[in-house]
Amino acid sequence: MTYFEFDAPTIIRTKRDGGRLSDAAIDWIIDAYTDGRVADAQMAALLMAIVLRGMDRGEIARWTAAMMASGELMDFTDLPVPTVGKHSTGGVGDKATLAVVPVVAACGAAVPKASGRGLGHTGGTLDKLESIAGFTAELSNQRVREQLCDVGAAIFAAGQLAPADKKIYALRDITGTTESLPLVASSVMSKKLAEGAGALVLDVKVGSGALVKSEAQSRELAHTMVELGAAYGVPTRALLTEMDCPLGATVGNSLEVAESCEVLAGGGPPDVVELTLRLAGEMLELAGVDGRDPAQTLRDGTAMDSFRRLIAAQGGDLSVPLPIGAYSETVIAYRNGTMGNIDAMAVGLTAWRLGAGRSRAGERIQAGAGVRIHRRPGEPVVAGEPLFTLYTDTPERLGAAMAQLEGGWSVGDTRPALRPLIIDRIPG
């Protein structure tokens, strides 16, 4: 017990008892936690109190600012090109970044994209890109700036940005304090605002495979983040998009890179194409770039050219075949009918069990593990046809993965009711 002006137990008790954290208290505790004067246990107790008591908009804004201030703030306002950022709250099979970034770059805006690695059932953009031979996400700031000018994009490890968030995020993961609007909003926005883009488009996922399951909560999260961006003078816009069902036809690192390449080549699953073009359109509009039609860049190969330049600039070699799990098992249709809903969480956990995801930060993952979905919801199914193929390098994982997938899909007689992919748009 200590009785100084600021001390962790007093701040924790204030929030525990439903009080409001002052700006000074927030600044103090984020700073003290980042440099180790406040213990993990103290921050964990405070986070749980925040989950259960909430924070008002002013507290969220200050918490975000304090986490931003814990690290480096990138600034690209002096670059000759407009910059625009993109963030997804994370889902299953969500490879949109891989196609959106080159499309936007091909249209004339530059995208500085700090990305992370996956944990649990959701994948991370860096894990996906690292399935490309030689690709590195460890870029210096100077290198990021050069790439934005030369290639129009850089996808890099968030490393120096908002280290307070990095530490708190890891703590939330093990303490059951991930699902909280104030904590999710401040985590996302502290990193994205530190990333320095001139505008920002958010893809807020809704559904079983999303961090926030309900549409109402996702909508509130989107509004909170859009307001946070505006408060920092960064025009911000959000799309609410469907995540009850995996995006596209693949879940897993190299599988998703391959699918993104299909989209960049003018093909690919229609939902991935639709999401890519909608996000790219919003980003270009917000960046004030018009003239080029994003869809045209997929047809004429300029988006693919952008992607190749981006990967090459970061050391990646697309001529090396992408890895794929050496062992596989296929789920076969037991009847004729129509594919029903496919549960995003079930597929995400299946991919995780196959080795595509981590149980804890830092764990090695399998680039070639994952799930290919042969029949998507609403498509006709014929008995005996393959529905899913599961890939892994470690065959002993197949049993648990097959069991995990069971019950996550069904074949019926009627077309399932499907939500539109783009549920809503929250303009800034």
- Binding footprint of a second copy on the chain (CB under 8 A): 1-3, 8-13, 16, 39-49, 51-53, 119-121, 171, 173-177, 349, 352, 359-360
Which of 62, 172, 309, 375 is the catalytic position? Answer: 172
What is the 3-class SS of the chain, one letter each residue?
CCCCCCCHHHHHHHHHCCCCCCHHHHHHHHHHHHCCCCCHHHHHHHHHHHHHHCCCHHHHHHHHHHHHHCCCCCCCCCCCCCECEEEECCCCCCCHHHHHHHHHHHCCCEEEEEECCCECCECCHHHHHCCCCCCCCCCCHHHHHHHHHHCCEEEEECCCCCHHHHHHHHHHHHCCCCCCHHHHHHHHHHHHHHCCCCCEEEEEEECCCCCCCCHHHHHHHHHHHHHHHHHCCCCEEEEEEECCCCCCCEEEHHHHHHHHHHHHCCCCCHHHHHHHHHHHHHHHHHHCCCCCCHHHHHHCCHHHHHHHHHHHHCCCCCCCCCCCCCEEEEEECCCCEEECCCCHHHHHHHHHHHHHCCCCCCCCCCCCCEEEECCCCCCEECCCCEEEEEEECCHHHHHHHHHHHCCCCCEECCCCCCCCCEEEEECC
Least distance in angstroms from the C-beta of 119 to a second copy: 6
Which of 7, 94, 165, 203 is the catalytic position? Answer: 165
Least distance in angstroms from the C-beta of 44 to a second copy: 4
288's tokens: 């004030």
Which of 87, 121, 145, 372 is the catalytic position? Answer: 87
Task: Give Cα 391 distance to the centre of its chain.
Answer: 23
Which of 187, 218, 254, 260 is the catalytic position? Answer: 187
Least distance in angstroms from the C-beta of 355 to a second copy: 14
In terms of CB distance, is 180 or 302 closer to a second copy? 180
Least distance in angstroms from the C-beta of 160 to a second copy: 24
In terms of CB distance, is 126 or 324 closer to a second copy? 126
Is 150 an active-site residue?
Answer: no
Is 87 an active-site residue?
Answer: yes
In terms of CB distance, is 62 or 121 closer to a second copy? 121
Is 187 an active-site residue?
Answer: yes
- What value, to the nearest 5°, has the Cα angle with vertex 405 and ends 269 and 248? 10
Least distance in angstroms from the C-beta of 41 to a second copy: 4
Least distance in angstroms from the C-beta of 198 to a second copy: 34
Least distance in angstroms from the C-beta of 289 to a second copy: 39
In terms of CB distance, is 40 or 424 closer to a second copy? 40
In terms of CB distance, is 216 or 417 closer to a second copy? 216
Q: What are phi and psi of 418, to 5 degrees?
A: -120, 135
Which of 15, 167, 191, 205 is the catalytic position? Answer: 191
Least distance in angstroms from the C-beta of 393 to a second copy: 20
Q: Whole-angstrom Cα distance, residue 410 to residue 428?
A: 39
- What value, to the nearest 5°, has the Cα angle with vertex 39 and ends 34 and 41? 125
Partnered with residue 373 across adjacent β-strands are: 388
In terms of CB distance, is 32 or 107 closer to a second copy? 32
Is 128 an active-site residue?
Answer: no
Q: What are phi and psi of 96, to 5 degrees?
A: -55, -40
In terms of CB distance, is 101 or 183 closer to a second copy? 183
Q: Whole-angstrom Cα distance, residue 296 to residue 386?
A: 34
In terms of CB distance, is 16 or 308 closer to a second copy? 16
Known catalytic residues? 87, 165, 172, 187, 191
